[in-house]
Structure 1
Amino acid sequence: MQLHPLPGLFISHGSPMLALNPEQVGPALARLSLNLPRPQAIIVMSAHWESDALEISHAIRPETWHDFRGFPAELYQIRYPAPGDPQLAERIIQTLAEANITAHANSTRPRDHGVWMPLLHMYPDADIPVVEISLPRHFSAQQLYQLGQCLAQFRQQQILIIGSGSITHNLAELTWDSESPTPTWAAQFSQTIVSALKNADYDKVLHWQSLPHIKRNHPSLEHLAPLFFSMGTGPRFSLVHSSFSMGALGMDIYRFD
């Protein structure tokens, strides 16, 4: 039986506390994985690996990195021991080279929570190889989109491609009150993105400078940037999940086929 290609995904990975308190998004991620064919491997671009050059994780068994401070001790005991895949990393580097995109192997990079947080809910057995790719600081939205286009061919090989960030990410305006309402500026931003993608208006998203309340939702761009990458992996958009955590932290999940 021939399997359909796996999609590209954009996942809002949220607070590290989602590992202990999954809220709405943890079950949504679990359901999503159950509805997909089992991947042969997973490629993830995380907002938490910014780099000067494009790098590809080449480690055989990357360490689980708790790249945050001030959380409960229980959180620091969590491990996500999925293997790496150096052979896949080499194939990615070669594919990019054929598109005149230079990428470098990195065999020492640990696995940040932008990778293991969503995968903990999707594939808790940690038995699928995972390769992380970095987010180059100097790449424009269009270059990240083109990077996604270049790697989209791996979807045909039963490899799941994920951009891991957050649809809104202003940590200064979050609240620990679970009953706190979603502010209008955050809700409007998420709704604008979804509307543009539903209408196949990718240009509106790629020209992010004109999005409503952009600076308030993203004082820095690294958590929105993985969306541009994910958009390149497929022309057909569908909304998997939309909710807010801690008031203004958008937890949207998008699928691209």
Structure 2
Amino acid sequence: MKASPQSVQRDRLHATVSAALESRILGGELKIGDKLDSESAIAKEFGVSTRAVREAIQTLETKGLVQRRHGDRTTVVREDVGEFLGTLAVSIRQQLFSDPAYLEELMAARRMIETEVLEILCATPGPVAAAVTDALDRMRLARDAGDFSAFVDADAAFHLALVHSARNRILSIVYDNFANLIGEVIQLTSRVPTKSLEAAYDEHAEIYECLRSGDEIGAKSLMRAQIDNSARYLRIAIDKAHEEETGNA
């Protein structure tokens, strides 16, 4: 059954209101505990009916951003995007080991974030953030000691520190959720032969030197290659884990 023009228009209006309010909540303009304006006030602001406002608020409540109470104005119940993305990360984790596309999409998203971060950092004057330098030093020490676990931890810290040093709160929140998920999967690489810690360290050291000298093109090219290589190793590790589970079943 085809929707009426009036129904389509109402859907469009409530989606507009919902998107605007969601942006205010996730952007921090509306904070946890804040009350939304009355439905009539919101309707007047956006030039829509109170019915469209109620539908918009229902959408926000479904997302867990607000809570409606009888006899009271709607309350903001989520402080920022972090909790929402945490829920998303759980959903991705549930599919990661059964659907190769999830791994590929996760690593593609990671690549987009980290190359964008390098562009920001190369355009920003000043030294490389101390946390990035510290993580690279820890990777070197773990390499010299042949400590795979410590190397993996320092590797994850290196990438996380890069993202945080861009000082973009949204990118940091998004990546924090990816980083936790990536860290879990990286541990699987201990199950299969991979490149040496020496080679892995050199990859990161080259990225660091490009960043230090402001070589955006070089840094981004190296980062793309490094993440693509990691994705291949992780795919091998996951496949091996599946083989072991199947063999033990």
Normalization by structure 1: what TM-score?
0.28
Task: Answer 1 or 2: higher relative contact order, Cα 8 Å, separation at least 6.
Answer: 1
Indicate the structure with greater helix content: 2
Bigger radius of gyration among the two: 2
TM-score normalised to the size of structure 2? 0.29
Q: Structure 1 or 2: larger strand share?
A: 1
